[in-house]
Structure formats: structure tokens, C-alpha cells
Amino acid sequence: MAGIKDVAKAAGVSVATVSRVMNNRGYISKETRRKVEKAMESIDYHPNQIARALQKNQSYFIGIIVPDSNHPFFSDLIKYVEMSANERNYKLLVCNSLDDPDKEAKYISMLRQNQVDGIIMCSHTMDIESYRKVPFPIVSFDRFISSTIPCVGSDNYRGGELATEHLIGLGCKRLLHISGPLELDILSNRRRDAFVITSMKHGVAYDIIEGAHNKLTFNYFWTFIHENLTPERLQEYDGIFCSNDLVAYALYLYAQQHGIDVPSQLKIIGYDYHSFTRMLQNPKLTTIMQPSDRIGVMLTNTLIQMIENADGELINNTTVDVTLVKGDTT
């Protein structure tokens, strides 16, 4: 059977270089890595990474737990996490919690049993203690869990402020915010805080309707709007800030059905911006873009930093900038 010496010979590099590539250690130029990989392929050398993982106590597996991998925001995020992980030779295990605490716990246990090096947590249904007792690195998306679990998220407060100022700047006098569920201490609630404070600062009247726990389907939001709004009540408002694009789009369709013109009578702004669904929107939503590419790369890099500096100091939280994307609904 072919061995590491044969790889070195075929690639025209030293055994030490092959070892560095295989162990993912030290600086290796892209070109050298490529040469070594080609050589491994050409002599049909496939080292058993599972055996190596056991020996070295590092698997190069990372897990990501999301509420729904098919939701456009998480589907964006997973792609960028996978691609940036792959660049550093980590493999991604994808888990759908469907926002079920039992499923979430079972996935964490499964990932632990499979010796993942770390987890990116994007589903937040369990209490904080359950995450704290996990004995390997975790990075959290949009929720503060503890000082040992770094958090990466968009600047939710700034997003809420931008959205509210945009509506007020366009002359809106009576605002509504459809928030996410507020009972959990997650960072997206800051969108609501910024909405309240910005409205107060400008002396503009406002209401809030609280969404239920992350039901991430359009149909859910469509029903939600029918249950929580009437056309009469909708006409009381001239500007609505929605905590995500799905509810914003459902609201736009509801207004249209009831003869309320958007944007002349009612202005609507969302939150998220999905690269794929954006193209299909007609009209295009005005929205706050939280950049899933930058968030995805940051989640991966933060986790790998924790994995590779296991004895290092605490790692800071990261806040990624948001921007207002003007569309046709304001």
C-alpha cells in the first residue's frame, strides 16, 4: 500500500511537508497543498482520517445546529460556514433542530459522541446551563450564553435604529413593530429596543406585536398576520418595521389584498436580506441586510481559533455591521 513517502516523491516535496499538509499544521502555500493533494489522488493514497482523529484527539469535524437549514437566511449562512471551514480542512455536520429542545439536546449529544472539535449554535431553545456544560468549544449566533462562549451576530440595535429612522425620515407618524419572540434573551430583541427608543426620541407613537417562537415559515407568518391584525387596525399605521423579511413580505401581500397601497399609504421595512429570495421579490422589500457571508466566515474563524488555541484566553464577541437596502416598499 502507498504511504507518505510515496506521496512526497510523487509531489516532489519533503516528507515533512506532506506531514504538515496532512496534519493541517504550520504554513503551507495553496500551491504546495494542491500539489500534495494531487499526488495523494494520483497514487490512490487515502489516509484514514478517523484513525488519525482518534490518535490525535482532533477530528476536524464541526457541527452546526440551525432551526431550519432550508430557511433562506440559514441556507445562506450554512453555505458560507461550509466553504470557509473547508478552506481550513474542517468538515461540516449540519443539524436541523426545528426549534425543538429535545432534538437540540439530542444533536449536541450526537455531536459530542462523534468527537466534533466544536459547534456553531444557531438554534436557541435550551436554557443556558445546558450549553455551558458542553466540554468543547461553542460559538453562538445572536445569543449571549456565557463569557466562555463567544457570540457572533449582526448589529441588531443599529439595524432597529436604521429601520425606525428610515420610516420616520419618510414622514411616518404612527409606527408598528412586529418583533420576534421576546421571552428569550437573544440579541435580535435589540431590534425591538432600538425601535422603542428611536420612536420615543422622535416623539412618534408606536405599537408592538410580539411574534411567537421562531416558526420560520411563510405560512406561519401569513396565519400570524391574519390572527393579529385586521385591515382596520392596519390602516391606523403608516410605517411598519418587521423583524424578518418573511413576515414583511406576508404583510405586504396582506395590505395589497385589502386595498392598502404600499408605499404611499403604508411603508414596510424588513430585516435579513436573503441573496436568493431577493431576486424573486416583486416588489423588492426595503430591508436591513445582515450579511450572512461575513457572519458565516466569522462564526467559522472564531470557532477554529478556539479549537486551535485550546489553552488561549477568552475570545471576544463579534458584531457585524448591517446596512439599509432601499427597495420598493418604503
Q: Which is nearer to a second copy, 229 or 250 (CB)?
A: 250
- 130 and 121 in contact (C-beta within 8 Å)? no
**Could you tell me the three cell numbers for 23?**
496534519
Rounded to a whole number of angstroms, the minimum distance from the CB of residue 69 to a second copy is 5
Q: Tell me how far, at minimum, the Cβ of 328 lies from a second copy, in Å.
A: 11
Nearer to a second copy, 58 or 317 (CB): 58
Least Cβ distance, residue 157 to a second copy (angstroms): 27
Helix 30-42 to helix 4-11 angle (10° resolution) is 120
Three-state secondary structure readout of the chain: CCCHHHHHHHHCCCHHHHHHHHHCCCCCCHHHHHHHHHHHHHCCCCCCHHHHHHHHCCCCEEEEEECCCCCHHHHHHHHHHHHHHHHCCCEEEEEECCCCHHHHHHHHHHHHHCCCCEEEECCCCCCHHHHHCCCCCEEEECCCCECCECEEEECHHHHHHHHHHHHHHCCCCEEEEEECCCCCCCCCHHHHHHHHHHHHHCCCEEEEEECCCCCCCHHHHHHHHHHHCCHHHHCCCCEEEECCHHHHHHHHHHHHHCCCCCCCCCEEEEEECCHHHHHHCCCCCEEEECCHHHHHHHHHHHHHHHHHCCCCCCCCCEEECCEEECCCCC
β-partners of residue 270 are 287
Phi and psi at 265, nearest 5°, equal -90, -35
CA distances (Å), 217 to each of 178, 213, 220, 255, in order? Answer: 15, 12, 5, 19
Name the minimum Å distance from CB 129 to a second copy.
13
86/265 with CB nearer a second copy: 86
CB of 281 to a second copy, least distance (A): 6
42/265 with CB nearer a second copy: 42
Residue (96 or 189) nearer to a second copy, CB: 96
Q: How far is the CB of 51 from a second copy (least distance, A)?
A: 6
Q: Which is nearer to a second copy, 68 or 155 (CB)?
A: 68
Nearer to a second copy, 157 or 224 (CB): 224
Nearest to residue 121, comparing CAs of 110, 113, 135, 107?
Answer: 107
> Smallest distance from the beta carbon of 232 to a second copy, in angstroms?
24
In whole angstroms, the minimum distance from the beta carbon of 231 to a second copy comes to 19
* Residue with smaller CB distance to a second copy, 122 or 246: 246
Q: Applying CB under 8 A, which residues contact a second copy?
A: 37, 40-41, 46-51, 53-54, 59, 68-72, 75-76, 78-79, 82-83, 86, 91-96, 105-106, 109-110, 112-115, 218-219, 222, 246, 249-250, 253, 275-277, 279-283
CB closer to a second copy, 39 vs 315: 39
Tell me how far, at minimum, the Cβ of 165 lies from a second copy, in Å: 26
